[in-house]
Amino acid sequence: MNRDEKIDQIKRQKYFVWGDVAVFAAALLLIVFFVLVAFLTPKEKGDTFYVFYRGEQIFSALLDTDAEYIFYIENGEGIVEKYNDSNGYKSYNRISVEGGTVRVSGADCPDHTCEHLGAHSWGEIICVPHDLRIEIRGKGLETDV
Amino acid sequence: MIVKFFGRALCFLLSAAILCFCACSADETEYYFVEFSISSNFYAGGQKLDNNEIRSVSAEVGKMLNSIEDDVSTEKSGSVARINAADAGEKIQTGEYTSDLFSLSKELYRQTNGAFSPALYNLSELWGFSPEYADRYTQPRQEPPQNEIDACLEKSQFDDIYRAESGEIVKKNAETRIDFGGIAKGYMSDCVLALLRQRYGEVQGTFSVMSNSVLAGEKQNDSAGLGYTATLENPRKEITGGLSSGGALYFTGLSDVAVSTSADDYRYYVYDGKIYKHILDPATGRPSDNGVISITVLVPLSVAHAGALADAYSTTGFCMPLTQALSFYELLWKEYGIGAVVITSDFCYYTVGEYTVLQPKEYAQLTNPSLTDKVENVFTYTEISAAKDEVVPCEKEREYIELLAARNG
Amino acid sequence: MKKITAREISILGIMLAAASIVFLIESLIPPLLPVAPYVKIGLANVFVLLVIIYYGAGKAFVFVLAKNLLTGLISWSGFAIVFNLAGSMCAYLIMAGLYAAVFPKVSLVSVSVAGAILSNIARTSVAVLIMEAPSLYVQLPFVGGFSLAAGIIVGILTTLCVKHLPERLTNVK
């Protein structure tokens, strides 16, 4: 079937044809598979969150006390401090700890994805433009080995 | 036609999607081979190894560890299995790994006056700690009768195995069997370090083969300025420790050192209010009963076979009276700079050598002050001069034994 | 590939401009799926699909690359390019493949559903990869369901275009 015949086909075809069942079935199978994977992924609540900038851990704090922190980048270095206000910072993320969860409550990155990721008590929150990753895990004191 | 087409469409979609998913998720799985893990902060020549490199080197290490295990495990069909199956007087050709372990063990056997011996496989079997009992180590059971222990001791003499002039290994007693369990994992960590150094030259970073860790070089990117830090596992974490119950004590300021811990919360059973450890005393043929519950040994990497020595020395202290064990470790400190921490069932701990050993509260103060009130100091520092051979289990210890007894029926 | 005519070039150019504008407008809308903000409807896929239909897979490939280059340059942001490139390449591959292999046994809607699902899985995977954040994979069920809906919308839009756009606009000869 050449190109013009196919175009002709589209014009005459209905929006859905029988063959679609196969594609939709495959898509549903895929989603079911993802649900299973997501369901089987262990969701271990952490009690500490760790802040990584460019893959290096730069900060950690407990989740049991509500607090606000600010992450910002200065001269290519990632810094986390107690939050006062976000004025005067460039490339910042405001990190809020509330009731054992952590979320990004403000940021000046272009996409604000990190804020939309919401509050977490396990797993990770990322801000791709700032190369920032917040990881929640752990039980207390950590060492190299 | 329809079937063919359905097949085509399904295959297309599923395979494309799954391929994409797998390609990415495969990247994320950490590579743990047998019992090996390498830290993600590993440096060679001042450069941090990236994930691909870590993966590729882990694969190589995994292969090597498998081939060591094939040669030295009693359960495989390598050199050790052949030695154990051999008749008296038979000359047994061994692989390089078994040969190394044999020489090292002979030296340690001499140095410790027999407190370290790899020829205890028969005893392990008698007490139910050999691999075929893997699913029922903790089952309460009576002690074997004394005459059986004595008979077993007869065929558990390391002196009955020797190396012939030509290099092969020969047994005097066909029934004697060996098991390098007390040294093999530490030896493996030495082999891993050698492999890493051969591949990269000098390296900085940490890796572990089970409870044997190697902390190579100085810690890189050390923002806390504490050097390498290490946790001494709390052997009584089930009843003590508070929020961060996993650590009994913490080491800081470490560099270029192999660390190995042996403790009684691994392969044991409780019978009649007593913990029977998997560590057997070559002199009595019975599980170690000197009041020690955990020993950690730190051997500088400048000492040859640091990992293997750390592994072996951490078990020998279980097979001597406490005071003798402590003076043995003091000797090791003076001669080789080897450090040790011994924890006893009265919840005291003794440190040998000038290593920084911190209580959980002190370590929390340094690294995570908000945790200071949430962790518990479990063990009490005690001067070596105050140590007595007679260790009376404290109340917490009796509580722990009761808990274990109740759990294992 | 035959020689490209001036008419073809101009139509492709207009399509490219339209695709880029649609793309840019879409990226101004806040994320529709809060749990997985990297996921999008991909309205620009309508144009990619049209190019595949009218001009073939070869020219569509160039079209996809050009679209990414253009949108990348306009909304300059290094990380976004990686997401968009991965997403649109995956969508292109599956759509061109399905269209060539099994159309008209399946409708255009199916072709675009497959494209949407793959493109969004690819975008999530990029997020997982560059941030080393494997736990983001738990979003995939939402991503899959959302993409299914997005694919249907894009598919219907494309079909509408083919059915109702006047011949003189789409006749490439």
Q: Which residues contact B136 (CB under 8 A, 6 or more apart)?
A: B128
Q: How confident is the model at residue C172 (pLDDT cuts 50, 70, 90)?
A: low
Q: Tell me if chain C has a CB within 8 Å of the CB of B9.
A: yes
Query: Hey, what CATH class is C6-170 in?
Result: mainly alpha
Strand A123-127 versus strand B212-216 pairing type: unpaired
Residue range A108-114: average pLDDT? 77
**Average pLDDT over all residues of chain C:** 85
Which of A3, A17, B9 lies closest to C162, judged by CA?
Answer: A3
Tell me the C-alpha distance between A119 and A101, whole Å: 6
Q: Tell me if chain A has a CB within 8 Å of the CB of C166.
A: no
Residue B139 DSSP one-character state: S
- Least confident among A32-46, B167-181, B370-384: A32-46
Contact B5 A19 (CB under 8 A): yes
pLDDT digits (tens, 9 = 90+) for B225-249: 899 999 999 999 888 877 667 889 9
DSSP letters for C89-149:
HHHHHHHHHHHHHTTTTS-HHHHHHHHHHHHHHHHHHHHHHHHT-GGGGGGHHHHHHHHHH
What is the distance, to the nearest Å, from the Cα of residue B315 to the centroid of all Cα atoms in its chain? 9
Q: Has residue C31 got a pLDDT over 80?
A: no
Mutate: best of C24, C99, C108, partner A, most A CBs <10 A: C108
Q: Residue A126 phi/psi, 5° resolution?
A: -125, 150
Q: Tell me if chain C has a CB within 8 Å of the CB of B51.
A: yes
pTM of the predicted model as reported, rounded to 2 decimal places: 0.67
Residue, of A113 and A106, whose pLDDT is higher:
A106
CA-CA-CA-CA torsion for C165, C168, C171, C173, nearest 10 degrees?
-170
Long-range Cβ contact pairs of A91-96 (< 8 A, separation 24 or more): A91/A130, A93/A127, A93/A130, A93/A132, A94/A68, A94/A69, A94/A70, A95/A51, A95/A68, A95/A69, A95/A70, A95/A71, A95/A134, A96/A67, A96/A68, A96/A69
Cα Rg, chain C, nearest whole Å = 16
In angstroms, what separates the C-alpha of C65 from chain A's closest C-alpha?
22
- Least confident among A21-35, C52-66, C73-87: C73-87
**Average pLDDT over all residues of chain A:** 84
CB B234 within 8 A of CB B245: yes
Q: Residue A138 phi/psi, 5° resolution?
A: 85, 160
pLDDT digits (tens, 9 = 90+) for C56-82: 899 999 999 999 888 888 876 667 788
Q: Has residue B222 got a pLDDT over 50?
A: yes
Q: What is the pLDDT of residue B5?
A: 47
CB A71 within 8 A of CB A95: yes
* Residues of chain B in Cβ contact (below 8 Å) with chain A: 5-6, 9-10, 13-14, 17-18, 39, 206, 208, 213, 215, 219, 221, 223, 228-231, 243-247, 250-251, 259, 360, 363-364, 367-368, 370-371, 374-375
Contact B13 C94 (CB under 8 A): yes
pLDDT digits (tens, 9 = 90+) for A54-73: 877 788 887 877 889 999 98
Provide ipTM, 2 decimals.
0.78
CATH 3.30.390.10 fits domain A48-137: no
Tell me the C-alpha distance between C128 and C140, whole Å: 11
Residue range B43-65: average pLDDT? 89
CB A129 within 8 A of CB C79: yes
Cβ contacts of B370 on chain A, cutoff 8 Å: 61-62, 64-65
- Closest residue in A to B209 (Cα–Cα): A145
Q: How confident is the model at residue B345 (pLDDT cuts 50, 70, 90)?
A: very high
Tell me the C-alpha distance between B313 and B334, whole Å: 15
Cis status, amide bond into B235, omega within 30 of 0: no
Categorise residue B272: left if φ over 0, alpha if ψ from -120 to 50, beta otherwise.
left
Q: Has residue B17 got a pLDDT over 70?
A: no
Query: Touching C: which chains, 3+ CB pairs < 8 A?
Result: A, B
Q: How confident is the model at residue A129 (pLDDT cuts 50, 70, 90)?
A: confident
What residues are paired with B6 via a beta bridge? none
Q: Has residue C114 got a pLDDT over 50?
A: yes
Cβ contacts of C128 on chain B, cutoff 8 Å: 24-25, 28
Cβ contacts of B9 on chain A, cutoff 8 Å: 19, 22-23, 26
Cβ contacts of A64 on chain B, cutoff 8 Å: 370
Mutate: best of B4, B10, B12, partner C, most C CBs <10 A: B12
Burial tier of B90 (Cβ tally within 10 Å: 0-12, 13-18, 19+) = middle
The alpha helices in B29-145, defined as continuous H runs, are 51-72, 79-85, 96-111, 121-127
Q: How far is CA C114 from CA A103, B55, B288, C96, C110, in A?
A: 33, 33, 65, 11, 6
Q: Residue B251 phi/psi, 5° resolution?
A: -100, 140
Tell me the C-alpha distance between C67 and C126, whole Å: 19
State the CB neighbour count (10 A cutoff) for residue B224. 10
What is the distance, to the nearest Å, from the Cα of residue B28 to the centroid of all Cα atoms in its chain? 27
A-contacting residues in C 107-146 (Cβ below 8 Å): 107-110, 113-114, 117, 127, 130-133, 135-141, 143-145
Which of B317, B273, B271 lies closest to B128, judged by CA?
Answer: B271
- Closest residue in B to A29 (Cα–Cα): B14
Tell me the C-alpha distance between B269 and B226, whole Å: 38
Contact C102 B12 (CB under 8 A): yes
So where are chain C's domains? 6-170
Q: Tell me if chain C has a CB within 8 Å of the CB of B5.
A: yes
The sheet that has B169-171: what strands, in order across it? B91-92, B169-171, B161-163
Q: What is the pLDDT of residue C130?
A: 76
Contact A30 B17 (CB under 8 A): yes
Percent residues over pLDDT 70 in chain C: 92
Q: Please measure the distance between the N-terminal and C-terminal CA atoms of chain C and give it in whole angstroms.
A: 14
Question: CB-side exposure of A123: number of CA atoms within 13 Å?
Answer: 20
Spell out a b/e string for C44-68, using b for 16 or more CB atoms within 10 Å of the CB, else e.
bbbbbbbbbbbbeeebbbebbeebb
Name all domains of chain B by residue range, CATH numbers in brackets. 74-180 (1.10.3980.10), 182-407 (3.10.520.10)
Q: Has residue B25 got a pLDDT over 70?
A: no
Burial tier of A104 (Cβ tally within 10 Å: 0-12, 13-18, 19+) = buried
Residue with tokens 């001494």: B232
Tell me the C-alpha distance between C88 and C101, whole Å: 20
Q: What is the pLDDT of residue A11?
A: 83
pLDDT digits (tens, 9 = 90+) for B137-157: 899 999 999 999 999 999 999
In angstroms, what separates the C-alpha of A59 from chain C's closest C-alpha?
17
So where are chain A's domains? 3-40, 48-137
Contact C110 A19 (CB under 8 A): yes
Cβ contacts of A26 on chain B, cutoff 8 Å: 9-10, 13-14
Q: How confident is the model at residue C11 (pLDDT cuts 50, 70, 90)?
A: confident
Burial tier of B266 (Cβ tally within 10 Å: 0-12, 13-18, 19+) = middle
CB C152 within 8 A of CB C113: yes
